[in-house]
Amino acid sequence: MPVELDDSSTVSGDASVSSTGNQNPPPKSAGKKKRNLPGMPDPDSEVIALSPKTLMATNRFVCEICSKGFQRDQNLQLHRRGHNLPWKLRQRSSKEVRKKVYVCPVSGCVHHDPSRALGDLTGIKKHFCRKHGEKKYKCEKCSKSYAVQSDWKAHSKICGTKEYRCDCGTLFSRRDSFITHRAFCEVLAEESAKNNHTQSNKLYPETVIRKNLPEPELKSPAAVDSPPSVALVPAPAVSVEPEPEPEPEPEPEPEPQPANIASSSVLPIPDSSESPENNTLEVVMEEAPRTIGLNGSNDHSNNNKSLYAGLFASSSSTASPSLYASSTPSSSRYPPSSSMEPISLCLSTTSPSLFGATIQDPPPHFLTPMSLPPPQPAISATALLQKAAQMGSTGSGGSLLRGLGIVSSTSSPMELSSHDAGFGLGLGLPCSSGTGLKELMMGNSSVFDPKQTTLDFLGLGRAAGNNPGGGGGGGLSSALWGGGSGMDVFGSGELSGKDIGRRSS
Does 173 bind another protein (CB under 8 A)? Our answer is yes
Query: Smallest gap, in angstroms, from Cβ of residue 287 to another protein?
Result: 20
Are the beta carbons of 303 and 387 closer than 8 angstroms? no
**220 CB-contact burial (10 Å; exposed 0-12 / middle 13-18 / buried 19+):** middle
Which string of x and - marks every residue 318-357 that binds another protein (by CB under 8 A)?
---------------------------xxxxxx-x--xx-
How far is 76 from 60, CA to CA, in rounded Å? 10
Nearer to another protein, 57 or 407 (CB): 407
Using CB under 8 A as the binding rule, the residues of this chain from 243 to 282 that contact another protein are: 258, 260-268
* C-alpha distances in Å from residue 453, one per residue of 186, 457, 460: 20, 12, 10
Of the candidates 125, 153, 143, the one whose C-alpha atom is nearest the C-alpha of residue 19 is: 125
Query: Smallest gap, in angstroms, from Cβ of residue 234 to another protein?
Result: 8
Does 441 bind another protein (CB under 8 A)? Our answer is yes
Using CB under 8 A as the binding rule, the residues of this chain from 5 to 34 that contact another protein are: 19-24
Among 74, 77, 150, 229, indicate the residue that binds another protein (CB under 8 A): 229
How far is 114 from 102, CA to CA, in rounded Å? 8
* C-alpha distances in Å from residue 227, one per residue of 134, 219, 231, 347, 401: 62, 14, 5, 12, 37
Are the beta carbons of 49 and 116 closer than 8 angstroms? no
* C-alpha distances in Å from residue 87, one per residue of 73, 81, 96: 19, 10, 20
Task: Write out the E strands in 162-277.
Answer: 164-165, 171-172, 211-212, 260-261
Query: Smallest gap, in angstroms, from Cβ of residue 347 to another protein?
Result: 5
Query: Smallest gap, in angstroms, from Cβ of residue 239 to another protein?
Result: 10
Among 292, 309, 421, 442, indicate the residue that binds another protein (CB under 8 A): 442
Q: Count residues near another protein (CB under 8 A).
A: 93
Query: Smallest gap, in angstroms, from Cβ of residue 488 to another protein?
Result: 10
Does 205 bind another protein (CB under 8 A)? Our answer is yes
E strand or H helix that includes residue 461: helix 460-466
Q: Per residue in 142-163, is it b (16+ CB within 10 Å) or e — as a string?
A: eeeebbbeebbeebbeebeeee
Nearer to another protein, 113 or 249 (CB): 113
Query: Smallest gap, in angstroms, from Cβ of residue 95 to another protein?
Result: 33
Among 130, 194, 305, 419, indicate the residue that binds another protein (CB under 8 A): 130
How far is 20 from 366, CA to CA, in rounded Å? 47
Nearer to another protein, 80 or 227 (CB): 227
Of the candidates 180, 153, 154, 182, the one whose C-alpha atom is nearest the C-alpha of residue 166 is: 182
Among 51, 67, 143, 411, indicate the residue that binds another protein (CB under 8 A): 411
Are the beta carbons of 308 and 224 closer than 8 angstroms? yes
Nearer to another protein, 35 or 462 (CB): 35
Are the beta carbons of 201 and 306 closer than 8 angstroms? no
Degrees, nearest 5: CA angle 472-477-480: 120
The phi and psi torsions of 210 (rounded to 5 degrees) equal: -110, 145
Q: Which segment (235-243, 312-320, 416-424, 451-459) binds another protein by CB under 8 A?
A: 235-243
Q: Which segment (58-66, 279-287, 461-469, 492-500) binds another protein by CB under 8 A?
A: 492-500
Query: Smallest gap, in angstroms, from Cβ of residue 97 to another protein?
Result: 27
How far is 79 from 60, CA to CA, in rounded Å? 14
3 state DSSP class of 463 = helix
Query: Smallest gap, in angstroms, from Cβ of residue 225 to another protein?
Result: 5
Using CB under 8 A as the binding rule, the residues of this chain from 178 to 197 that contact another protein are: 179-186, 189, 192
Amino acid at 283: V
Does 408 bind another protein (CB under 8 A)? Our answer is yes
Query: Smallest gap, in angstroms, from Cβ of residue 308 to another protein?
Result: 10
Query: Smallest gap, in angstroms, from Cβ of residue 291 to another protein?
Result: 18
Query: Smallest gap, in angstroms, from Cβ of residue 431 to another protein?
Result: 5
Does 171 bind another protein (CB under 8 A)? Our answer is no
Using CB under 8 A as the binding rule, the residues of this chain from 33 to 92 that contact another protein are: 37, 39-40
Among 139, 238, 379, 391, indicate the residue that binds another protein (CB under 8 A): 238
Among 11, 50, 203, 209, indicate the residue that binds another protein (CB under 8 A): 209
Q: Which segment (175-183, 313-321, 334-342, 372-380) binds another protein by CB under 8 A?
A: 175-183
Helix (H) and strand (E) counts for the chain? 20, 10
The alpha-helical segments, DSSP class H, found in 185-243 are 186-199, 219-225, 227-232
Does 144 bind another protein (CB under 8 A)? Our answer is no
Nearer to another protein, 200 or 496 (CB): 496
Q: Which segment (132-140, 171-179, 281-289, 372-380) binds another protein by CB under 8 A?
A: 171-179
**308 CB-contact burial (10 Å; exposed 0-12 / middle 13-18 / buried 19+):** buried
Which residues touch 490 (CB under 8 Å, ≥6 apart)?
none
Nearer to another protein, 61 or 324 (CB): 324
Using CB under 8 A as the binding rule, the residues of this chain from 461 to 490 that contact another protein are: 480-481, 489-490
Does 494 bind another protein (CB under 8 A)? Our answer is yes
Query: Smallest gap, in angstroms, from Cβ of residue 142 to another protein?
Result: 12
